[in-house]
Amino acid sequence: MSSADSSPGRRVSLLTLGCARNEVDSEELAGRLAAGGWELSAEPEASDVVVVNTCGFVEAAKKDSVDTLLAAADTGAKVVAVGCMAERYGRELADNLPEADAVLGFDHYPHLAERLADIAEGRSIASHTPADRRTLLPISPVERPAAAEQVAVPGHAGWGPRVLRSRLDDSPVAALKIASGCDRRCSFCAIPSFRGSFVSRHPDEIVAEAEWLATQGARELFLVSENSTSYGKDLGRELGGTRALEGLLPRLAAVEGIDRVRVSYLQPAETRPDLVKVIATTPGVADYFDLSFQHSSEAVLRRMRRFGSTDAFLALVDQIREYAPEAGIRTNVIVGFPGETEADVAELERFLTGARLDAVGVFGYSDEDGTEAEGFDGKLDEATIAERVGRVSALVEELTAQRAEDRIGTVVEVLVESVGDEVTGRAAHQAPEVDGECVVLDADSCKAGELLRCEVVDSAGVDLIVRPLEPVADRAP
């Protein structure tokens, strides 16, 4: 019996926590469930099953995931945990959270419609058993594409007559996954162990999904992965190899109906001059650089198993601004890493002051299960970490507000996203949810999805106050 036959009229809701990569995974799962006969519902209370796509990155995200699972159980629906936390902890999560009817890993994704039918009918599904997913693919990147066809890689559902994805909202912005996994071995990060080794998607597959997203109302594509600068290293020279992203971006920018393409999560040590030039100068590609600096002290970076220095990072920032002086640059930094000294913090402050970034996330270090740094000596006490987070955050708040203020009098292209009592959108230097927004004045006739040329007339923190000048003409393919 097919899953469509076994799930007549059954409704499922998907709740997504965490990053944009999880949002893509949820929409892939929605596509699989719709193809399997399930009706997608935005109302958990009216659903037979609620699927919670969890985040397992840091303690706060894990708590949010557990709270969401508990709230879902209160609806009376069957509750299924999937996503990073489910993949990472599996049976342990199931044992500690009896409110969840099942805890399923990535390997369940291809047959999720059938598994939900089993759960809805009261059949027990064995909880996922975690394993290091880096062991599932060959060590050599060029051998991975063929092997990946036999491994469940979220967001890599394949392509053909139709894209296996269903949009879960009507936002003019859509995340588009270009790769999954990571080959880096940062000492503080557990992601590679449960997301697996780095695997690129075929560029034709990505373009096909982009064309489909344009038909679904997307006007900005937000390219996501764990490490976008590695894109193509496993694809071979005929597909561009390590320069594949430079070839992919103009193709995506030329997709009819797409106004803007944005790249996320670039590794500074892998950010090549040619890639900088393509991002900064290609029409339709946002001159936006999401660079994962994490710190700038060489001593701290070495303990993090990363590369770089304050001067090297400042040189990269200068290189970007030589091509595009108004380019947006954002990063995240970790303070309080084991062994970090006051001199290291001062070096980070020197970098932040010199770089004049548009947005900076500041995080205090905390141990993550199974990471190398968990066993490091030189751990700082919570009070010291909190003091350093507060100090660096205050500096960042001042610097980013100044950077926004410097944009007053300039002209920006704003993609309108929300029309209500206030019209808001984002300029090229502002990524979804993390980098501030533009408040559009005198915009009563604006529609969501419209791209406007606007003059910046004021700022409020990292947010800009803008006034429309004219709509942006369609870009010629």
CA 369 to chain centre: 22
Distance separating alpha carbons of residues 6 and 111, to the nearest angstrom: 13
Q: Cα angle vertex 270, ends 265, 276, to 5°?
A: 75
Q: Which two tokens stand for residue 1?
A: 């019996």
108 in Cβ contact with 66 (< 8 Å):
no
Question: Beta strand pairing status for 102-103 and 78-82?
Answer: parallel
340 in Cβ contact with 302 (< 8 Å):
no
Question: Beta strand pairing status for 463-471 and 451-460?
Answer: antiparallel
201 in Cβ contact with 223 (< 8 Å):
no
Tell me if 454 is assigned to a ligand binding site.
no
Question: Beta strand pairing status for 220-224 and 411-419?
Answer: unpaired
CB atoms within 10 A of CB 241: 14
Tell me if 55 is assigned to a ligand binding site.
yes
> CA dihedral defined by 145, 146, 149, 155, rounded to 10 degrees?
10
What is the C-alpha radius of gyration for the chain, rounded to an integer number of angstroms?
22
Tell me if 438 is assigned to a ligand binding site.
no
Tell me if 189 is assigned to a ligand binding site.
yes
Residue 151, burial from CB neighbour count under 10 angstroms (0-12, 13-18, 19+): middle
SS3 letters for 404-453?
HHHCCCCEEEEEEEEECCCEEEECCCCCCCCCCCEEECCCCCCCCCCEEE
Count, residues in the chain: 477
Distance separating alpha carbons of residues 377 and 336, to the nearest angstrom: 13
Q: Cα angle vertex 439, ends 434, 444, to 5°?
A: 140
8 in Cβ contact with 140 (< 8 Å):
no
Tell me if 19 is assigned to a ligand binding site.
yes
Residue 428 vs residues 285, 360, 431, 443: alpha-carbon distances, Å:
9, 16, 8, 19
CA 387 to chain centre: 28
Tell me if 84 is assigned to a ligand binding site.
yes
Q: Which two tokens stand for residue 415?
A: 């993609």
Q: At what angle do helices 244-253 and 273-281 cross, to 10 degrees?
A: 10
Q: φ and ψ at 222, to 5 degrees?
A: -110, 100
Q: Which amino acids are annotated as binding site for [4Fe-4S] cluster, given as ranges?
A: 19, 55, 84, 182, 186, 189
Q: Which amino acids are annotated as binding site, given as ranges?
A: 19, 55, 84, 182, 186, 189
